[in-house]
Chain A
Amino acid sequence: MGARTRKGWRKVINGVNLSAFIVVLFIGLPLYWLIISSFKTPAALGASPPQYWPNPWSGANYSQAFNQYNFGQYFINSVIVTLVATALVLIFGTMAGYALGRLPMRGKFTLMVTLLIISLFPEIAVIAPLYTLLKDLGWLNSYQALIVPYVAFNLPFAIWILRNYMLGIPKEMEETGRIDGAGPLRTVWSIIIPMALPGLFTAGIFCFTACWTEFLMALTFNSADSYKTIPVGVATFGTALEVPYGTIFAASVVAIVPIGILVFIFRKNIISGLTSGAVKG
């Protein structure tokens, strides 16, 4: 079956695969450079010609990030702020998405458009008034100074995703639940939420990533070292005279690991969430 083998070979190298490969290279190379650089010694970092593979491997950058700088604390801060904000976004987003997708309500369209407009607001436009507001509340340098604005900024998008997901759940599912004897809360918990799970994963990952990488508000509202999140913390590594690239690389690698793990675990759910509504099914 010689013809078949040639066909198989053509299957691997063709236009579509090649372009996908280029795209992956485009995104992957900087990531590769970041990861290998984080394991290089300071001397190897600036070497010319550049080292494509660390030699020797060094963990010094990582120990420096955690020991010389307060990276452990930044990491904990980021985890707290991101997890709480994401959880709140999902709770409110589910409720609002259900109401907007399902319940008879006046002015749904206006509300959805308003949400869309809000989600398009640039952060920078509201950061000054938010700062004075938080200052008056006495919330500067606290977790809620980030959690509350993060929820506000990410909720509209989450509501859109979840509402569209809820729309795709047949009305008979709830009616069947009612006939089976489930009350409204039970219906939402046992029937609607399990069916909307891919939507929840998608909204959750988007929100998690947005909060985890947010810089401007974190920098403005929480200047105290004990409340800095990873992006701000890493950016302020070093002094005016010295930029510790190796340490920054190491910290960045640690910062992207959680997102990588989350996406890897929930990849199937995220994809089905993203494509829902494309085909009625």
Chain B
Amino acid sequence: MATVSMDKINKVYENGFHAVKDIDMEVADGEFVVLVGPSGCGKTTTLRMVAGLEDITSGTLRIGGKEANDETPKERDIAMVFQNYALYPHMTVAENIGFALKLRHLPKDQIRAKVSEAAKILDLTEWLDRKPGQLSGGQRQRVAMGRAIVREPSVFLMDEPLSNLDAKLRVQMRAEVQRIQRRINVATIYVTHDQIEAMTMGDRVIVMRDGILQQVDTPQTLYDHPDNVFVAAFIGSPAMNLYDAVLGEDARSIKLGSQQVDLPDTVAIKRPALRSYIGKDVVVGMRPEHLRAAPPDYTGPTLIGNVELVEALGSELVVHFTIDANRVLAEGAVDKDEAAAVKDGEGVARVAAKTPVKPGDKLPFAVDIEDMQFFDTQTDLAIRD
């Protein structure tokens, strides 16, 4: 049971690569924090510095209030689950789970008791005598978890523990990991590149990019109020529609390509900083669910899109459309192949399942103005107050 705090943590590799830059973060006791970001953003390096597998170049790491920079992994009393599980192939499940206890010279009957308790929590009792090679992916994953929880560590670290599982199992294990974390109730840092895992699992989510912390918030705040263009584009699936736009006179309208969308005055009242952008370029963000198919008698602000593709998901339609405004792609938020596949001015809307729409249509979307996001084109930061 302990807290983890990082104060201006930096990691510079021998080759000069600055992987982690001035990270500040706090993880409270019992809290589940998810570190998320695209690959190469420094999230795993950060986790490994907490684990003691990577030296900290500068800054202070405290575990349970005590400076831990120079402590060995053993002294830090952490447990870690690796992406590939790293189970000892020559040991049985019971030996795998009990290895750390054996190294601490616990009496054999105590080890057995703790191992069987962990096995019960993880539903592994009948597999205790098997070797990892005889287990399925999900079972191996649970053994890796068991090895970590049996030690009753003060900090629990997980490095993409679900990424080797198939999609269906991953959903199950998401819930399972959360259940176990609640049960053992220790500070947990969970690294993933999957923003859905981040949203569904974390008490708080830390978004990283290029070694720099972007935003730390609860999943909902992150989703509703992203601090910058990167977070806006990275969190949410399908991703937020981001366009270059020009803010009209008195902040009462916004020009997206050749279309003008009227804004109620509440927009500028809620975001006083917006006034200084009048007549200037901004980046506008709209979540796909905030673009609905406008009914014929709709009088509110609309945006007309050329429908390119309609994906029927049963519960809703995902409509891909284009407008003649410039689509903003946040570098690193989507991978390169995906970015290359995005058409000029392409956007995505989620509309009701039975909406009559087909490719080639010009569909008017009702825009939920209140949920619109504005960003500075230079700094990429959200324009709020």
A-side interface residues toward B, CB under 8 Å? 170, 172-173, 175-176, 178-182, 186, 190-191, 194-195, 197
The 9 closest A-B pairs by CB, nearest first: A172-B86, A180-B100, A181-B74, A194-B90, A176-B86, A181-B103, A172-B82, A179-B73, A178-B73
What's the least CB distance linking B75 to chain A, in Å?
Answer: 9
User: Is B300 located at the chain interface by the 8 A CB criterion?
Assistant: no
Query: In the complex, A103→B82 CA distance in Å?
Result: 21
**B88 x A178 contact (CB < 8 A):** no
Could you say which residues of chain B place their CB within 8 Å of the CB of A179?
51-53, 73-74, 78-80, 100
User: Is B277 located at the chain interface by the 8 A CB criterion?
Assistant: no
Could you say which residues of chain A place their CB within 8 Å of the CB of B104?
181
The answer to whether residues A175 and B103 also contact, given A170-B86, A194-B90, A195-B89 and a CB cut-off of 8 A, is: no
Query: In the complex, A219→B248 CA distance in Å?
Result: 100
Query: In the complex, A86→B237 CA distance in Å?
Result: 60
**A173 x B88 contact (CB < 8 A):** yes
Q: Which residue from A175, A190, A197 sits with its C-beta under 8 Å from B86?
A: A175
Could you say which residues of chain A place their CB within 8 Å of the CB of B51?
175, 179
The chain B residue with its CB closest to the CB of A175 is B53
Query: In the complex, A4→B84 CA distance in Å?
Result: 44
The answer to whether residues A180 and B82 also contact, given A173-B88, A191-B88, A194-B90 and a CB cut-off of 8 A, is: no
Of the A-B pairs whose beta carbons lie under 8 Å apart in the complex, a sample of 12, sorted by A's number, is A172-B82, A172-B86, A173-B86, A173-B88, A175-B51, A175-B53, A176-B82, A178-B73, A178-B74, A179-B74, A181-B104, A191-B88
Could you say which residues of chain A place their CB within 8 Å of the CB of B53?
175, 178-179
The chain B residue with its CB closest to the CB of A194 is B90
Could you say which residues of chain A place their CB within 8 Å of the CB of B83?
172
**A182 x B89 contact (CB < 8 A):** no
What's the least CB distance linking B276 to chain A, in Å?
Answer: 51
Could you say which residues of chain A place their CB within 8 Å of the CB of B78?
179
Q: B interface, by DSSP: helix, strand, loop or mixed?
A: loop
**B72 x A178 contact (CB < 8 A):** yes
User: Is B99 located at the chain interface by the 8 A CB criterion?
Assistant: yes
Given contacts A173-B86, A176-B82, A176-B88, 13 further A-B contacts (CB under 8 A): A170-B86, A175-B51, A175-B53, A179-B52, A179-B80, A179-B100, A180-B151, A181-B73, A181-B104, A182-B103, A194-B90, A195-B88, A197-B90
**A180 x B72 contact (CB < 8 A):** no
Sort chain B's interface into a size bin: 20 to 34
**B88 x A170 contact (CB < 8 A):** no
**B99 x A180 contact (CB < 8 A):** yes
Query: In the complex, A175→B73 CA distance in Å?
Result: 9
Q: A interface, by DSSP: helix, strand, loop or mixed?
A: helix
Q: Which residue from B80, B90, B100, B147 sits with its C-beta under 8 Å from A195?
A: B90
Could you say which residues of chain A place their CB within 8 Å of the CB of B89?
195
Could you say which residues of chain B place their CB within 8 Å of the CB of A178?
52-53, 72-74
Query: In the complex, A172→B160 CA distance in Å?
Result: 13
Query: In the complex, A195→B90 CA distance in Å?
Result: 7
B-side interface residues toward A, CB under 8 Å? 51-53, 72-74, 78-80, 82-84, 86, 88-90, 99-100, 103-104, 147, 151
Query: In the complex, A178→B78 CA distance in Å?
Result: 11
What's the least CB distance linking B357 to chain A, in Å?
Answer: 48
What's the least CB distance linking A216 to chain B, in Å?
Answer: 40
What's the least CB distance linking A199 to chain B, in Å?
Answer: 13
The chain A residue with its CB closest to the CB of B153 is A179
**A170 x B100 contact (CB < 8 A):** no
Could you say which residues of chain B place their CB within 8 Å of the CB of A170?
84, 86
The chain B residue with its CB closest to the CB of A197 is B90
The chain B residue with its CB closest to the CB of A186 is B103
Could you say which residues of chain A place their CB within 8 Å of the CB of B84?
170, 172
Query: In the complex, A133→B190 CA distance in Å?
Result: 62
**B103 x A180 contact (CB < 8 A):** yes
What's the least CB distance linking B323 to chain A, in Å?
Answer: 47
Query: In the complex, A180→B78 CA distance in Å?
Result: 9
Could you say which residues of chain A place their CB within 8 Å of the CB of B88?
173, 176, 191, 194-195
Query: In the complex, A194→B95 CA distance in Å?
Result: 14
Could you say which residues of chain B place their CB within 8 Å of the CB of A175?
51, 53, 80, 82, 86
Query: In the complex, A179→B79 CA distance in Å?
Result: 7
What's the least CB distance linking A138 to chain B, in Å?
Answer: 45
Query: In the complex, A197→B89 CA distance in Å?
Result: 12
What's the least CB distance linking A139 to chain B, in Å?
Answer: 40
Query: In the complex, A215→B90 CA distance in Å?
Result: 39
The chain A residue with its CB closest to the CB of B144 is A176
Query: In the complex, A178→B48 CA distance in Å?
Result: 12
The chain A residue with its CB closest to the CB of B78 is A179
Could you say which residues of chain B place their CB within 8 Å of the CB of A195?
88-90
Could you say which residues of chain A place their CB within 8 Å of the CB of B72?
178
Could you say which residues of chain B place their CB within 8 Å of the CB of A180?
99-100, 103, 147, 151
Query: In the complex, A173→B86 CA distance in Å?
Result: 5
Could you say which residues of chain A place their CB within 8 Å of the CB of B147?
176, 180
**A181 x B100 contact (CB < 8 A):** yes
Interface centre among A173, A179, A181, A195 (most CB of B within 10 A): A179
Query: In the complex, A190→B74 CA distance in Å?
Result: 17
Could you say which residues of chain A place their CB within 8 Å of the CB of B82?
172, 175-176
Could you say which residues of chain A place their CB within 8 Å of the CB of B99?
180, 190
Interface centre among A178, A181, A197 (most CB of B within 10 A): A181
Query: In the complex, A176→B86 CA distance in Å?
Result: 7
The chain A residue with its CB closest to the CB of B79 is A179
What's the least CB distance linking B188 to chain A, in Å?
Answer: 15
The chain B residue with its CB closest to the CB of A172 is B86
What's the least CB distance linking B333 to chain A, in Å?
Answer: 28
Query: In the complex, A175→B80 CA distance in Å?
Result: 9
What's the least CB distance linking A109 to chain B, in Å?
Answer: 18
The chain B residue with its CB closest to the CB of A104 is B14
What's the least CB distance linking A112 to chain B, in Å?
Answer: 22
Query: In the complex, A173→B89 CA distance in Å?
Result: 10
Query: In the complex, A164→B74 CA distance in Å?
Result: 29
Could you say which residues of chain A place their CB within 8 Å of the CB of B79?
179
